Chain A
Amino acid sequence: MEAVTDAPVISPSPRLEPPPASMPETIVKVEGLTKRYDSLTAVDDISFHVSRGEIFGILGPNGAGKTTTLECIETLLAFDAGDVRVQGIDVRTDPLEVKRRIGVQLQSSAFFDRLSLNELLTVFGEIYGRRVDPASILDEVDLRAKLQSKVSELSGGQRQRFSIAAALVHDPPVLFLDEPTTGLDPQSRRHLWGVVRRIKTEGKTIVLTTHYMEEAEELCDRVAIMDHGCIVALAPPHELIARLLADGFRKERIERHANLEDVFLALTGHALRED
């Protein structure tokens, strides 16, 4: 249906790749989205498009409106103004159809107690009318060994990955991840980046929020930086950096070729500790 060039073949680092020149298919379209809570305007007339196959990051300090924006697209929140569509479907007039097309990892997702991951994924699949193979879904997030475990027996990183697995049961074209790596140790965070990249290579579109600039730089094709409910910048990360440097910005300190996280990882290794 569409002709997207296989970016990694041309360049080993997809984040440096400029967006395809041909007209990309828009998966998520947000136009003039506004959400008010009494006197507070949480999201103030924002617009952006997300194209098929890209990882789109929404950055911003706490209270900037990241989660509110996501929840409006996910049909969880009613909004005051704007046009929000997923694959052309209006989230206001046909929320059920939108729900069928999106996979969502909430900031704090809870699942039923006392069911194994296997049973949970089976139930979630059935909700979408699918008979799924839980083992192969868990494979995608490197949790196959935990097929018979309960969510309460998982570590923080494993829970986040299971939450992504549960969002993937119905093979949705677009995935929303709300702060997927908050609270994880550096090993788990890097591991989750690998999982997200792998999902992207399967042709899925991913919209994520994060507090970690390094994560955004590492994963996102484009980022929208939000503050006080508005988008203050929207571009690929390297472009934003180039713009800042062109304006004459220089870091005060001497450039170092490693930081403390590199030291930490060199000392403790990249291997996951939880499995």
Chain B
Amino acid sequence: MRLIGVLTLASARMFFRQREAILWTLILPLFLIVLFGFIRFDGTTTLEIGLVGPRSPVADSLRAALARVDAVTLHAGSRESETELLRQGERDLVVVLPGGLRQGDSVLVLADLEAKPSQTQLGRLILRTILDETVLSDLESVTRPRLVVEAVVTRNLSYIDFLVPGVISMSIMQMGIFGVAFGFVSMKKRGILRRLSITPLRTMDFIIAQVITRVTVLMLQMGLMLAVGVLFLDLHFVGDILSLTVLAILGAIVFLSIGFALAGSSRSEDQVAPVANLISVPMILLSGVFISRAHLPGPVYAITEIFPLTFLADGMRAIAIDGASVLEVWPQTLGLLVWSAIAIVLASRLFRWE
């Protein structure tokens, strides 16, 4: 036990004296959260409308009314330039106003009906309403049913709530696969492991120390991301820390074991890199870290169901945002347990000192 303590302390020292490691493990995930949090690329995007045509009092009031709609970003320009932007995908709709805009005149709407059916539909509804209100405003006497909007407070989950648990899960995977595999292969290549193999050091003691160090760093990383999320990015964290920690450690065991298996079966960093990327990149893209899996086509969705990162990210999200416990997310917990059994068997078969 004492030896494991000494080895853990030593490997922690080595880790924290390495500036690039701190950058990659602590700063980069935060950077990703802030960056993607601002892009909000799942979020409610606004409708890009190009408005062209000669100026007139009616056209101006129409323009002003459209500009007040939050869901619309209005652009002005010539018909040719706006149409070109529509073709390039920079506009959702181009609205061409006729000169006078009297009753019986028609307003031309240009849109790609196949590529953007819902945007076109939404744009038409907004335009219809505004045209009615603008042009028929002098016919106010007509009694129309009124719309009354009442405020209701909701949990108001944002993209940040989706993103933070996902990035935490991704960081656990990266630390396991890349941290362990590259670290060990480098120690192997440079002869550090060989030097250790002529001492009575037991492999297990060395590995346990490495695992403790990395799990500690992961906990720090997770705490930092949650703290920044709650303090600065309006993260709705309602999770139970214990459940979150248990699931994170379970995930760490899966990915650290994959890392050890990779380290064991490779001789150099050049051999590790492609395999590590082959494993991690599809999971980053398809396991619902940055983008919800809901949009994936059926067969792909089915495959991603059993990815270890899917289990981890879904579980972490349910615990952190929905307040579930580690037992309530039992399908994810069970999935990770099965994966950890597979990964540990692989690691013990493949891991070699030399």
Residues of A that sit less than 8 Å from B by CB: 74-76, 96, 99-100, 102, 104, 106, 108-115, 119, 122-124, 126-129, 166
Contact = CB atoms under 8 A, between A and B. Distances in A.
A115 B16 CA distance: 11
B198 A119 contact: no
B6 interface: yes
19 contacts: A74-B198, A75-B198, A76-B198, A96-B200, A100-B200, A102-B198, A104-B198, A106-B198, A109-B191, A110-B190, A110-B192, A111-B192, A113-B18, A115-B10, A119-B10, A123-B6, A126-B6, A126-B7, A127-B196
Contacts of B10: 112, 115, 119, 123
A115 B17 CA distance: 9
B191 A124 contact: no
Nearest to B18: A114
B18 A76 contact: no
A110 B193 CA distance: 9
Contacts, number: 59
B3 interface: yes
A127 B5 CA distance: 11
Contacts of A112: 10, 14, 187, 192
A126 B194 contact: no
A102 B6 CA distance: 22
A127 B3 contact: yes
Given A76-B194, A110-B191, A126-B3, 7 more contacts: A76-B197, A110-B190, A110-B195, A113-B14, A119-B10, A123-B6, A127-B201
A154 to B, nearest CB: 15
A53 B6 CA distance: 34
B259 to A, nearest CB: 18
B200 A115 contact: no
A17 to B, nearest CB: 31
Nearest to B3: A126
A114 B199 contact: no
Interface in B177-216: 187, 190-192, 194-201
A8 to B, nearest CB: 31
Nearest to B21: A114
A109 B195 contact: yes
A68 to B, nearest CB: 15
Interface residues of B, number: 21
Interface of B: 2-3, 6-7, 10, 13-14, 17-18, 187, 190-192, 194-201
Contacts of B2: 126
Contacts of A96: 200
Closest 10 CB pairs of A and B: A114-B17, A110-B190, A110-B191, A126-B6, A104-B198, A99-B200, A110-B192, A127-B201, A114-B14, A127-B199
B215 to A, nearest CB: 20
A128 B198 contact: no
A129 B199 contact: no
A226 B193 CA distance: 29
A167 to B, nearest CB: 9
B185 to A, nearest CB: 13
A123 B197 CA distance: 14
A129 B3 contact: yes
A74 B195 CA distance: 11
B6 A111 contact: no
A124 B192 CA distance: 12
Residue among A100, A104, A123 with max Cβ neighbours from chain B (10 Å): A123
A126 B201 CA distance: 9
Contacts of A119: 10, 13
A108 B194 CA distance: 10
Contacts of B191: 106, 108-110
Nearest to B2: A126
Given A123-B6, A123-B7, A115 B13 contact: yes
A166 B195 CA distance: 10
A104 B195 CA distance: 9
A106 B13 contact: no
B6 A122 contact: yes
A92 to B, nearest CB: 16
Given A112-B14, A114-B13, A123-B10, A106 B195 contact: yes
Contacts of B14: 112-115
A207 to B, nearest CB: 14
Contact of A124 (B187, B194, B199): B199
Contact of A127 (B17, B194, B200): B200
Contacts of A129: 3
Contacts of A108: 191
Contacts of B17: 114
Contacts of A111: 192, 195
Contacts of B196: 127
B199 to A, nearest CB: 5
B201 to A, nearest CB: 5
Contacts of B199: 99, 124, 127-128
B12 to A, nearest CB: 11
A22 B70 CA distance: 102
B281 to A, nearest CB: 28
